[in-house]
Amino acid sequence: MAIQWSDNLSVSVAEIDEQHKIFIKLLNDIYKMTFTGSNQDEAAGLLKQLESYAAFHFATEEKYFDKFKYDRADEHKAEHRSLSNKIIQFKTRFVSEGAAVLPEIVDFMEDWLADHLEVQDKKYSKFFNDNGLV
Ligand SMILES: [Fe+2]
Ligand SMILES: [Fe+2]
């Protein structure tokens, strides 16, 4: 199902909230595609966007971890790496299985994102705010 942005997903940092909204929108675009029956090129393009947007977003958070010397950076970066690897696996499966794999990708990504936002990302809110990032 599609996920909606709501204020309880906020991490209290405007730049990062904006990125999370774009991330959610990309997932919802892929979700829509699962029942509008898009063509292969379009789906491949969205998966590529998802991969590059995830990399861009993770790099943003990790830049601040390094800058502020965040003590939970290692566990957080490990979750980012594992998701990046998962996206690569999904892209490979998409090549062999086609659009049939899209619902599984959307389900997995929505669960991952909701959990990651509410657990890992929220852990840095106060720390980032205390370092002047709001
Ligand atoms: Fe995030
Ligand atoms: Fe994160």
On average, the pLDDT of the chain sits at: 94
How confident is residue 112, by pLDDT bands cut at 50, 70 and 90? very high
**CA distances in angstroms from 10 to 21, 102, 114, listed in the order given:** 10, 27, 11
CA 133 – CA 127 distance, rounded (Å): 9
CA 34 – CA 37 distance, rounded (Å): 6
CA 99 – CA 101 distance, rounded (Å): 5
Provide the 10 A C-beta neighbour count for residue 126. Answer: 11
Ligand 1 centroid–CA 22 distance in Å is 11
Is residue 9 pLDDT above 90, yes or no? Answer: yes
How confident is residue 39, by pLDDT bands cut at 50, 70 and 90? confident
pLDDT of residue 17: 98
pLDDT of residue 69: 98
pLDDT of residue 91: 94
CA 93 – CA 44 distance, rounded (Å): 11
Ligand 2 centroid–CA 79 distance in Å is 7
Ligand 1 centroid–CA 95 distance in Å is 27
